[in-house]
Amino acid sequence: MRINRLLRVLLGTIFLIPLMGEGTTVIAGEYSQTAYNSTDNCYTCLRLVPSNKKNQQANPIYILEVYHQGQPIYTFETVTGRAFTQTRNRHRAGTDSPLPDGKYRISSSSVWGTLAEVGGRFIPIKPQFRTGRSSLGIHYDPSYNRANGEDGTSGCIGLTNRQNFEILRQFIETYKPQLLMVDIQ
């Protein structure tokens, strides 16, 4: 049984490796087992955690961990909110603060974003708890690390480059993870 699981993980990883681009990290199984040691059932899911790093615009960097078949396979650097909105109320609409901690349902497909700052495609996520926030998602942040006043997001998870967003989008549309766990506060 254990050999079959190992074979599935190896084949899954080999299939996914061609999707990787610069700035993408493939991680070993011991990197983070938190999602699997918790009471949450996370076989194929995403998890957002802090990194203790900031970009040149003083915006905190968060790590989006991607799990497939119970194993961590990717990590992506992301932003959520803006440098000056990190301490605002995360449950109140219109604050541009980072998204609140909790569980989110991930859409199995992407849609075209309606704002230039979404960077093209947008993967909707829906909080599975009460909050005043809506219209949240995952997208590429075209202003990442630029001194144009737009670095960061209005609460979505913004990937730092388009290539990593495309890798994540392909993963989501192929493997259809349903759970995003946010644990950044």
What gap in Å lies between CA 172 and CA 178, rounded to an integer? Answer: 9
Residue 47: pLDDT over 90: yes
| Confidence band of 120 (pLDDT split at 50, 70, 90) | confident
pLDDT in tens, 76-119: 999 999 999 999 999 999 999 999 999 999 999 998 877 767 77
Predicted pLDDT of residue 182: 97
> Backbone phi, then psi, for 7, in 5-degree steps?
-65, -45
Q: Which residue has the higher pLDDT, 118 or 51?
A: 51
Does pTM surpass 0.75?
Answer: yes
Report the chain's mean pLDDT, rounded to a whole number: 82
Give the range with max mean pLDDT: 29-33, 40-44, 131-135.
131-135
How far is C-alpha 78 from the geometric centre of its chain's CA atoms?
7
Residue 23: pLDDT over 80: no
Predicted pLDDT of residue 118: 72
User: Which domains are assigned to the chain?
Assistant: 2-182 (2.40.440.10)
Q: Which two tokens stand for residue 83?
A: 């440098």
Nearby residues of 120 by Cβ (< 8 Å), 6 or more positions away: 112, 113, 139, 140, 162
Predicted pLDDT of residue 116: 67
Q: Which two tokens stand for residue 116?
A: 């230039």
Q: Which two tokens stand for residue 31?
A: 């990197």
Mean pLDDT of 35-40: 41
Nearest residue to 50 (alpha-carbon basis) of 62, 65, 34: 62
